[in-house]
Amino acid sequence: MVKVALDEDNNWIELEKGSREGLYVDGIHKKNLDVAKGIIKKDWDMVFVYDGMEGSGKSVKCMQDAFYCDPTLTVDRITFNPEDFEEAIMKASKYQAVVLDEAYGGLSSRGAMSSVNKKIVQMLTVIREKNLFVFIVLPSFFDLDKYAAIWRSRALIHVYTGDKFTRGFFKFFNTDRKKTLYIEGKKSYNYFASKPNYIGRFTNIYPVDEAAYRKKKTETSMKAEDNNRVFVLSISKKIKQDIVRNIKEKSLGLTQLQIAEIIGVTTMTIYNYTKDDKSDISENDI
């Protein structure tokens, strides 16, 4: 590995062997990132994808690379949902890095993945015009939209664990090899469908404020869970109301206790609903 840090002019320099300061960057990987830093200034953008099992360290690796490409990176440009990602993209200046880290909780549902894909595709034009570095973290490369996965991303960095779940390993797939991987491996999520260009190592060093990062990550997750809970409860109330109304209109001859047991509410809820001029079940009753 190569040990690197910033000098007083904000340029990356290699540190002497044995120094404890700075960020560790694999030598071959560093050369590729240096190429990307040069190309983006020729009116290009740079979109990189990171994936791997939960807990493998893909978020840390992604932040390290983003910080290497853009030393001005802060937690403000590390986002955890499509809305904040769009806002960060719009506020970012030329050649800055923006991270969309959907590794935490958001991509467990097909609907959430669809939302993320739509936002990524929508923002690709803006990313191109502003010449930005964009780093996308997700559980699996194969869940990414085909256009973004094959045609718009520059590389895939697949993070994995070694023997005894040792963290700090990654595989690098360039444009051609990730295309082959996506086409040949998507059906069975086979990461051996294409050979990586190289394998590298990294260490568990946070290039940004770790406490601030974790706080933002937790707060975003809690907000998402609260929104989802409200949505589910809203759907649940409507379903219960419709069932009670259906049973009542069809005059099935069921007792209030039987109706209550069918939909999982109290008999008092059914009584209140079936009283004269009572058209809805109170939100407080369910």
Last residue of a domain, one of 208, 228, 262: 208
> 123 vs 63, which has greater pLDDT?
63
Last residue of a domain, one of 193, 208, 223: 208
Domain span including residue 100: 2-208
* pLDDT, position 116: 74
Look up residue 185 and give its amino acid. Answer: G
The CATH number given to whatever domain includes residue 135 is 3.40.50.300
Report, as an integer, the average pLDDT of 177-186. 97
pLDDT of 119 over the 60 cut: yes
Together in a domain, 107 and 153: yes
Q: Determine, yes or no, domain membership for 213.
A: no
* pLDDT, position 254: 72
Q: Determine, yes or no, domain membership for 221.
A: no
> 277 vs 258, which has greater pLDDT?
258
3-state secondary structure at position 46? strand
Q: Determine, yes or no, domain membership for 125.
A: yes
Residue 49's alpha-carbon distances to 111, 140, 178, in angstroms, are 20, 10, 10
In sequence order, what are the beta bridge partners of 14? 4
Q: Determine, yes or no, domain membership for 68.
A: yes
How many structural domains comprise the chain? 2
Together in a domain, 245 and 192: no
Together in a domain, 189 and 254: no
Name the pLDDT band for 211 (thresholds 50, 70, 90): very high
pLDDT in tens, 60-101: 999 999 999 999 999 999 999 888 999 999 999 999 999 999
pLDDT in tens, 6-40: 655 555 555 444 333 557 788 899 999 999 999 99
Whole-angstrom Cα distance, residue 183 to residue 127? 25
Residue 69's alpha-carbon distances to 30, 78, 96, 221, 230, in angstroms, are 10, 14, 8, 27, 40
The model carries a pTM of 0.72
Report, as an integer, the average pLDDT of 123-148. 91
Together in a domain, 162 and 59: yes
